[in-house]
Structure 1
Amino acid sequence: MPKLTEWAYPLAESLLAESLPRRWKHCLGVAERARTLEFILAEDAELLEAAAVLHDIGYAPDLAKTGFHPLDGARYLRDVANADERVVLLVAHHSCAWMEAEARGVRQELEGEFQRESEHLNDALCYCDMNTAPDGTPTNPIDRINEITGRYGADSLIGTFIRRAEPEILACTSRVLERAAAARRQPM
């Protein structure tokens, strides 16, 4: 059986590289951040990396049905790609998606179709996403939130959502960094 990442990278590339090259670079950067967390994720490291490279496929023109990329991406992974259920759940709920779903009036739809994966994995994916700039380079959550707000506009749905999500994004980052620090203190 092929590894999840061996399946995920070509799929994400086929959906994003040509039509949305900057988004593809972002997804590659998010996956790169995911690899840095391998030491705190153990058996879930590959799962996180696969979800990281796939997290924004819902932006792909052929997949964008509702305009809410976590839902569009998760539905595609579930219904067309027959993806691992945990990858689907992580994509559906990445980076505080429930808050954006609420702003769009589709929170019940999102949560009715897709339950949340474990907090430590949701935190890890949010950390990776919010510490990666649109071009795939490392950044920090404050600069990333400011970039998103600037790109979409402070009064836009996305601008309002990301500012509302900011405390939770920072909390996710803090929890991941705390887990990493605790793991480093553990004797080998």
Structure 2
Amino acid sequence: MTSLVRPRVDVAAARDLAEALLADLPQRWAHTAGVARRAAELCAAMDAADRDRVVTAAWLHDIGYAEPVRDTGFHPLDGARFLRRSGWTARISALVAHHSGACYVAEVRGLHHELAEFPRELSPVADALTYADQTVGPDGARVDVRARMAEMLARHGAASDNARVHHLRAPDILAAAERVEHRLRLAALAA
């Protein structure tokens, strides 16, 4: 019997899994594919060891929306738990759990203890995943981070959990974006 544990990051397996799980959600699939493309573009500003990790996490970041994965209805947590059960590394699971300021939304949904099953990583990889997610719209097209946040708030509504924590989440997302853009500028100068 082969082990479910994937000791290495596997971009191709992540893409295949996301495609299979999101097949019935074409807009979510378009967004996911766009986020993965964007994450790949950010790799120039990352350590070689982290490049596949961020692209893998990008492919997997929204699998919690898929019906077979859905449990709590909070997609970062549902996706992370599914990945953990499926043998993905703890780090990939945690990156999915905490992408794009999920900790703030988990708090208002009463899921902060459950999300704490996964350690929150503060790193260039976590920044890049958030930046990739927050610079790609629902249709997979590139957008400005502020435009993406405005679109998300309009889509979810003024009374949504996302709107309730926007005053906390937005500064976190904008700070991650600033760090990623700074790293990209440094990488361009070094090239």
- For the aligned pair, the TM-score class normalised by the smaller chain equals over 0.9
Tell me the equivalent position of 2:173: 169
Q: Return the offset for 1:116.
A: 1.9
Q: Return the offset for 1:40.
A: 1.5
| Match among 59, 62, 73 for residue 68 of structure 2 | 62
Root-mean-square deviation (Å): 1.5
Aligned residues: 184
Q: Return the offset for 1:87.
A: 1.1
My pick for the range that moved more, 85-94 or 126-135, is: 85-94
CA–CA distance in structure 2, aligned partners of residues 156 and 84 of structure 1: 32
Q: Return the offset for 1:3.
A: 6.0
CA–CA distance in structure 1, aligned partners of residues 152 and 110 of structure 2: 21
Question: What pairs up with 1:1-188 in 2 under 5 angstroms?
Answer: 4-17=10-23, 19-41=24-46, 42-79=48-85, 81-111=86-116, 113-186=117-190
Runs of 4+ with deviation above 4 angstroms: none
* Unmatched 5+ stretches in structure 1: none
Q: Return the offset for 1:84.
A: 2.1
Q: Return the offset for 1:5.
A: 0.8
Identity %: 44
Using the size of structure 2 for normalisation, the TM-score is: 0.91
CA–CA distance in structure 1, aligned partners of residues 122 and 104 of structure 2: 17
Counterpart residue type for residue 176 of structure 1: V
* Unmatched 5+ stretches in structure 2: 1-5
Using the size of structure 1 for normalisation, the TM-score is: 0.92
My pick for the range that moved more, 156-165 or 56-65, is: 156-165
